[in-house]
Amino acid sequence: MWQAIRVKVDYTKMHGAGNDFVVIDDRSKTFAVEDMAGIQAMCNRETGIGSDGLILLQSSGCAAFRMRFFNPDGTEVSMCGNGARCIARFAADLGLVESRFEIETAAGVLEAHLDGDRVCLRLGRWQEATLDVWIMDKYHLDMIDTGVRHTVMWLHDLDELMVMDLDAFGALIRHHSFFSPEGTNVSVAAVDEQGEVHLRTYERGVEGETLACGTGALAAARLAVVRGLCSFPVEVRCRSEEKLMVDDAEGCMVLSGRAVKMEEGVWSGGDRF
């Protein structure tokens, strides 16, 4: 007869611009990455630690360390901008890195720079944007891949942005057959008179709105520049009211903002058989 064993895992909870994550030092590679139910339990905001995702720090042969990112539903994705900024701060707190270093991800190797509580990332090159996509002959959308696929709908003003039912709209677009089988992250955005982008994002894998999204900020900023609504560097105001800075460096994506430790603890909520 199998007996349940309570597994204890040390974790740190962090947030980047309000986008919060459970971060684990997994250089020993003992975390059960195949246990989707266990990841779901940790990320559950009602009964678990609660977060927008789980991040593992693992050893790397080509960078200071490797980042693996899992959505709250347990699926692994190639990139998370705010997650990468948080794990950069986490690695510094562990004493693994100094102010400048590289991070291996499934989307490529990133360059990181720490400056106080701010973390700046230089990511891969900008991909081609796709503008003026009509869905259901009703929704006018732009698309770009910033490590993961993002779809953005531009709204006329901030009032319209604030009252938007993003959970309903996001689910509709995220699951639309046009984006199958992977689906898409969905953002709504507006640009104010100062050229600042105001952004709300429905994240695939979270299946709801988050307080911030780094790759979403990259997507909205790039699309705004392509449309001539503003120019780099672009300030992006997130749902949390914190700002992310997006810039272009020789054709590469640059994302910077705060990354903050929230708490440390031990998770013992998962059963292993």
pLDDT of the residue at 217? 98
Joined together, the tokens standing for residue 24 give 């684990």
Its pTM stands at 0.91
Reported as a single tens digit per residue, the pLDDT across 254-267 is: 999 999 999 999 99
Is the pLDDT at 53 greater than 70? The verdict is yes
Q: What is the mean pLDDT of residues 103-126?
A: 95
The full 3-state SS of the chain, as one line of letters, equals CCCCEEEEEEEEEEEECCEEEEEEECCCCCCCCCCHHHHHHHHCCCCCCCCCCEEEEECCCCCCEEEEEECCCCCEECCCHHHHHHHHHHHHHCCCCCCEEEEEECCEEEEEEEECCEEEEEEEECCCCEEEEEECCCEEEEEEECCCEEEEEECCCHHHHHHCCHHHHHHHHHCCHHHCCCCCEEEEEEECCCCCEEEEEEECCCCEEECCCHHHHHHHHHHHHHCCCCCCCEEEECCCCCEEEEEEECCEEEEEEECEEEEEEEEEEEEEC
Q: Report CA-CA distances (Å) from 66 to 74, 81, 206.
A: 18, 14, 22
| 80 among known catalytic residues | yes
Q: How far apart are the first and last CA of the chain?
A: 10
Q: What is the pLDDT of residues 152-178, one digit of tens each?
A: 999 999 999 999 999 999 999 999 999
The predicted model gives 30-42 an average pLDDT of 93
pLDDT above 60 for 272: no
- Phi/psi for 95 (5° steps) reads 80, 20
Of 43, 80, 86, 120, the catalytic one is 80
- The residue from 86, 120, 213, 238 that is catalytic is 213
Q: What is the pLDDT of residue 271?
A: 45
Please give the backbone phi and psi of residue 170, each rounded to the nearest 5 degrees, phi first.
-60, -45
Cis peptide bond upstream of 181, omega within 30: yes
Beta-bridged to residue 141, according to DSSP, are 133
Spatial separation of the C-alpha atoms in residues 140 and 135, rounded to whole Å: 7
Q: What is the pLDDT of residue 170?
A: 97
Domains and CATH numbers, the chain: 5-124+258-272 (3.10.310.10), 127-250 (3.10.310.10)
* Active-site residue flag, 213: yes
Contact predicate 89/114, CB 8 Å: yes
pLDDT value at 1 more than 50: no
Question: Binning pLDDT at 50, 70 and 90, where does residue 6 land?
Answer: low
pLDDT at residue 99 greater than cutoff 80: yes
4 has a pLDDT exceeding 90:
no
DSSP β-bridge partners for residue 253: 248
Mean pLDDT for the chain? Answer: 94
Q: Is the pLDDT of residue 210 over 60?
A: yes
Closest among 144, 238, 159 to 199, alpha carbons compared:
238
Q: Do 164 and 197 contact (CB within 8 A), yes or no?
A: no
Q: Residue 2: pLDDT above 90?
A: no
